[in-house]
Structure 1
């Protein structure tokens, strides 16, 4: 059970005020700044509501409880290490800085004096002109310098920030976005206020609401393990719970020396610098674990990791060290980024990885990650071809249970990590893949309502047709101007509307590819009005797959039978495009 030294009511001004011990986010805990527009806008709306209630003078409206924070304090409480509450304290400091900067741009001397006082009392102060500033809130190493540069290092003489650090991480952009959002909110609130005196009063009231009205409960603990236990308990049901953050905190807790802690920090730098979004880091961490241990749900990932690693780290005869896990994580993250961005350097594999991404086939990545740890990228081509065919035949066209496919692939990834050969994995995937007769039958009847999947299927068929015709395929590959066209329109004229319209509209036999301008010309028109767009297209799937069968030239209307006929022909081609196992063209 966690030991709690004290739990005390603290205003924001007491937590980050000049006469109180500074708050420091330790390098061995906490996450980076993570609040986005929704959280920041909600925070602003709450503060505005609180300001209005506070004006009533009612005692019950004089304070606004914003939640608990968890700190690790020394016996004399000369410093406070912040484990939980970073997002709220950081966001509050950003808002205080936005108030300071707004005051700094006003013409009056009084406004500049108030701005400087806010800086000295609640953000940072200097003991002399050439002394280093003392910051009342110091973030962890991943955001520390950027936060100082953009938020805290205020020049009292110029009323500006130095701004020499460049944003290099997603959290840096979020800090900038939060500051910009608060500045815009303040400008909008001040816009209807005419006199500068009234504007000063409003800004002064806003600052007072923050530093005197916002109330926290500071839970003080003696050690990091106590703080971690309280942190996990508080966050067990809240948004602040982050698997990535909790895993890092756990690894720091289990680190036996500074060297191991630095190894963990190096791994986390790689994650933060390598991925563009926090969501991608969360996804990688799950896929990394699944690749080694089999399926685990996102909501139980941290619990599972903690339990398994605790057992391994605490074994009487150490079989596994924190530094080892951190190194494996860092190494895998580099390969994972290359897989999801199709940047392995092997052209044939990168082309296949583009297909995986186009299909949004996330279930494939744990297996690909596991294989990439065992063989060179060049040797992954054949099994990746088989994997794509399995996914297309089973899920996209066959519309079979996707969770069953996931279970199989996740278990296969675990087997690969445990020593199963890549060739054995290839054979297993081939065994699972629906046979040609089944696939052709499925394809001939399949509706494909998702435009991304329809575009993928039609594009790969087009590339196949061009290879067989020995025609350059540059026209399609990577061409963002190529769009999916519904031949029988999505919104036809009433006199041309087919019975069971919704049945036919998303059948693949009713879809083709057109370049953007031609697609706009052809939209929602009857066939005779757009036949020129089809006949002049450079795309073979539009020229040579019998689109004219969809129109009854004698009766002057659309033919549902024509959709079936064209789709049946596409199904015959599809058997060769997505074969069981490896593709004949370029297979290794």
Structure 2
């Protein structure tokens, strides 16, 4: 059980104020800054709502409890290392800085003096003319320099610097966006006030509300392991903590020396530089673990990693250690980034990877990741095509249970990591693919309500037709085509078929058209759309029996025409996504 030195009520001013020990986010600790516009906007709305009560009752008003934080304090309490609560304290500091800069913008002597006081009291101070600033909150190595440059740096004669470090990570962009959001909101409020005195009063009231009214419970612990246990307990009770943060904390805890900690940080630098969002890192971690150990669910990923690695470190006497795991994680992250970006440099393989990404067929990645550890990219086109055919035939067209496909591919990924060779892997995937008879039957009755899937299926068929006719593929670039319902989604009432809902998203009723979609024209009867079809350069329009959907003699839509066209397309699809 964790040891807790004390748990005490702390205002924001007591946590980041000049007369209290500085807050430091240690390098083994929490994630980068991760609050998006959604969290920042909610925080701002809550602060303004609380301020209304504060304006009425002052310090007698109810406090705004913003949550617990977990810190590690040394015996001298000269500084506090924060393990949980970084996001809230960082966002609060950004808001305080935005208030400081709004005061400076007003431009009066009094407003500039107030801005300098905010800087000295709540952001940083200098104890001497030639001493460096002491910052009241220091972020981890991934954000510290950008945060200081963009938020904390200040000149009492000139205010905020005119130029800043260019954002280099997605967390830097989020810091910049949070600051911009607060600055705009403050400016909007000040614009409604008649004069400088009213503006100064409003800013000062908001500043007092923040530093005196926002309340935390600080849980002080004596060691990293105690803090980690409290941290995980708090975050297992309903809050969604990032798995990468927990994994990194665990690895730093298990590191026996500075070199091992540096190796963990090196791996995390690769993760943070290579993925656009935290969610992408979480997905990679799961796929990495699946590729090595088989299926694991997202909600239990951290617990599984921690339990497995702790046992393995102990059993091996650390012959397999934090350095080994971090090095493998880093290498796999680089290969995984190649896969999801279609950036392997092998053109044919990259084309299949692009299709996998467009379909959102994430279940294929663990197997491909495992294979890249044992094979060159140049030989992986065939297995990737087999996996793609499996996914299209099983999931997209067959609408079968996707969890079974995942189980099959995840099990195979583990076997590949254990030594299964490429050809045996290909053979095994082929045994999983629904056969041609099954696929033809599935395709002839399939619907595609998802536009992304419909566009992929239709463009793939168009590509096959064009290559058979020895035509170029320029006309099928996704961005210049839209999915067209031949029989309209909203037909004129007199032309609406009785089985409308069953027919409208059938593949036989779908085609591609070049250019921006004209919704009103798309809902017209066939004769009024005929000119668009006749002038299209797409073979999907001119060579797939679209005319069968309209009965010229009765001037009505034909349900049988959708069935006939879909059967024709099924005969093509079985060649586009072959079983062997």
Match of 1:563 in 2: 562
Match of 1:20 in 2: 20
Distance 1:58 1:187, change over 3 A: closer
Matched position secondary structure for 1:445: coil
Distance 1:221 1:162, change over 3 A: farther
Match of 2:545 in 1: 546
Asked whether 1:309 is paired with 2:317, we answer no
Report the Cα distance in structure 2 between the residues aligned to 1:319 and 1:556, rounded to whole angstroms.
79
Match of 1:241 in 2: 241
Match of 1:497 in 2: 496
Match of 1:136 in 2: 136
Report the Cα distance in structure 2 between the residues aligned to 1:175 and 1:164, rounded to whole angstroms.
13
Report the Cα distance in structure 2 between the residues aligned to 1:441 and 1:401, rounded to whole angstroms.
17
Question: What's the offset of the Cα at 1:58?
Answer: 7.5
Question: What's the offset of the Cα at 1:5?
Answer: 1.5
Deviation digits for residues 313-372 of structure 1, max 9, x if unmatched? 122533411011111111111111111111110000000011111111011111111111
Question: What's the offset of the Cα at 1:274?
Answer: 0.5
Deviating 4+ runs (over 6 angstroms): none
Asked if structure 2 preserves the Cα contact closer than 8 Å seen for 1:153 and 1:162, the reply is no
Asked if structure 1 preserves the Cα contact closer than 8 Å seen for 2:55 and 2:205, the reply is no
Report the Cα distance in structure 1 between the residues aligned to 2:257 and 2:516, rounded to whole angstroms.
63
Report the Cα distance in structure 2 between the residues aligned to 1:20 and 1:381, rounded to whole angstroms.
60
Match of 1:586 in 2: none
Report the Cα distance in structure 1 between the residues aligned to 2:333 and 2:112, rounded to whole angstroms.
48
Deviation digits for residues 429-484 of structure 1, max 9, x if unmatched? 111111111111111111111111111111111111111111112221x3411111
Distance 1:490 1:372, change over 3 A: same
The aligned runs of 1:271-286 (5 Å cut-off) are 271-286=271-286
The aligned runs of 1:223-242 (5 Å cut-off) are 223-239=223-239, 241-242=241-242
Report the Cα distance in structure 1 between the residues aligned to 2:66 and 2:13, rounded to whole angstroms.
13
Report the Cα distance in structure 2 between the residues aligned to 1:107 and 1:402, rounded to whole angstroms.
62
Deviation digits for residues 54-94 of structure 1, max 9, x if unmatched? 23328762532222211111111111111111011101100
**TM-score normalized with structure 2 length:** 0.98
Question: What's the offset of the Cα at 1:395?
Answer: 0.8
Asked whether 1:88 is paired with 2:78, we answer no
Match of 1:401 in 2: 401
Matched position secondary structure for 2:193: coil
Structure 2 spans left out of the alignment, 5+ residues: none
Match of 2:412 in 1: 412
Asked if structure 2 preserves the Cα contact closer than 8 Å seen for 1:492 and 1:525, the reply is yes
Report the Cα distance in structure 1 between the residues aligned to 2:338 and 2:7, rounded to whole angstroms.
47
**TM-score normalized with structure 1 length:** 0.96
Question: What's the offset of the Cα at 1:533?
Answer: 1.1
Report the Cα distance in structure 2 between the residues aligned to 1:221 and 1:359, rounded to whole angstroms.
47
The aligned runs of 1:87-486 (5 Å cut-off) are 87-161=87-161, 163-239=163-239, 241-315=241-315, 317-476=317-476, 478-486=477-485
Report the Cα distance in structure 2 between the residues aligned to 1:199 and 1:522, rounded to whole angstroms.
54
Deviation digits for residues 101-135 of structure 1, max 9, x if unmatched? 00000132111100000001110112334431110
Report the Cα distance in structure 2 between the residues aligned to 1:252 and 1:117, rounded to whole angstroms.
38
Match of 1:584 in 2: none
Report the Cα distance in structure 1 between the residues aligned to 2:46 and 2:441, rounded to whole angstroms.
58
Distance 1:84 1:525, change over 3 A: same
Over the residues paired in the alignment, what is the CA RMSD in angstroms?
Answer: 1.4
Structure 1 spans left out of the alignment, 5+ residues: 582-588
Matched position secondary structure for 1:78: coil
Match of 1:523 in 2: 522
Report the Cα distance in structure 1 between the residues aligned to 2:58 and 2:519, rounded to whole angstroms.
62
- Greater mean alpha carbon deviation, residues 238-247 or residues 113-122: 238-247
Report the Cα distance in structure 2 between the residues aligned to 1:189 and 1:498, rounded to whole angstroms.
56
Match of 1:514 in 2: 513
Matched position secondary structure for 1:160: coil
Asked if structure 2 preserves the Cα contact closer than 8 Å seen for 1:485 and 1:519, the reply is no
Matched position secondary structure for 1:105: helix
Question: What's the offset of the Cα at 1:287?
Answer: 0.6
Asked if structure 2 preserves the Cα contact closer than 8 Å seen for 1:16 and 1:23, the reply is yes
Matched position secondary structure for 2:454: helix
Deviation digits for residues 230-274 of structure 1, max 9, x if unmatched? 111111124351111000000000001100100100110111110
Deviation digits for residues 390-414 of structure 1, max 9, x if unmatched? 1111111111111111111111111
Distance 1:17 1:473, change over 3 A: same
Report the Cα distance in structure 2 between the residues aligned to 1:533 and 1:153, rounded to whole angstroms.
60
Distance 1:223 1:128, change over 3 A: same
Asked if structure 1 preserves the Cα contact closer than 8 Å seen for 2:394 and 2:434, the reply is yes
Question: What's the offset of the Cα at 1:498?
Answer: 1.1
Matched position secondary structure for 1:10: strand
Deviation digits for residues 291-318 of structure 1, max 9, x if unmatched? 1111111111000000000001122533
Count the aligned residue pairs: 580
Question: What's the offset of the Cα at 1:289?
Answer: 0.5
Asked if structure 2 preserves the Cα contact closer than 8 Å seen for 1:396 and 1:453, the reply is yes
